[in-house]
Amino acid sequence: MVFLGPPGAGKGTQAAIIRDRYGIPHVSTGEIIRDAIAGGTPMGDKVRVVVESGKLVPDEMIGDIVAERLGREDARNGFLLDGFPRTIRQAEILENVMSARNEGLTAVIKLDVGDDQVVLRLSGRRVCAACGALSHTEFSAPKRQGVCDACGGRLEQRRDDREEVIRRRLSVYHEQTEPLVAHYAALGLLRVIDGDRPCGEVTRDVLAAIEGGAAA
């Protein structure tokens, strides 16, 4: 399976539920790139040079990293990809990787959340500088403004959670993802789920999409 959706759409939350239900790994591209670098593998060393130079990791190199990760024992019975593919070229690379495994995708699930809701979700997040606990100015406000309920530390807004940064990230997401959505729709794999609802309702429709039912 592949998960698509803007930052803040709830992909991580739903991925954890799917991972536990089906006993398959949640493969995040960012995490496997960091793991490859930390592991000191030949591929990891190549990626480290690119990352440290400040350049984007080429599609083919990311494809090699994903192929290496999907070749591990825990992915034998399935996997959930998050953050890959991001472009049509990466989708083609994934199709080649899966063809070599004599496998195909079950579904490509797009969590649909409007830009304004994404900005509200992300810009309101605050993290404790002392213990790392998360809160939200709208959805889980602390008892004292700017103060962590857990330890009394100072709550801060991450740089990536500023509205202007979020808007730029959304612009890139739309530019990259719209062709990808059309690509998977043409293959009959796309399932669009309304992600702007309570978590349980989203999970219900995600499971229905995976198991062959129609999403609401």
Residue with tokens 């008892």: 143
According to DSSP, residue 149 is labeled: T
β-partners of residue 108 are: 2, 190
Catalytic residue from among 86, 89, 197, 204: 86
Catalytic residue from among 11, 110, 121, 126: 11
User: How distant is the alpha carbon of residue 110 from its chain centre?
Assistant: 11
Known active-site residue 204: no
Quick one: 111 exposed, middle or buried, by C-beta within 10 A (0-12, 13-18, 19+)? buried
**Size of the chain, expressed as the number of residues it contains:** 216
Catalytic residue from among 69, 125, 126, 191: 125
Known active-site residue 55: no
Give the C-alpha distances (Å, rounded to integers) separating 76 from 62, 64, 145: 20, 17, 48
Known active-site residue 125: yes
Catalytic residue from among 158, 162, 167, 168: 158
Residue with tokens 């083609």: 92
Known active-site residue 158: yes
Known active-site residue 86: yes
Beta strands in the chain (DSSP E): 2-4, 26-28, 80-82, 108-112, 125-128, 134-136, 155-156, 190-194
Catalytic residue from among 46, 89, 169, 204: 169
β-partners of residue 109 are: 3, 191
Residues recognised as catalytic: 11, 86, 125, 158, 169
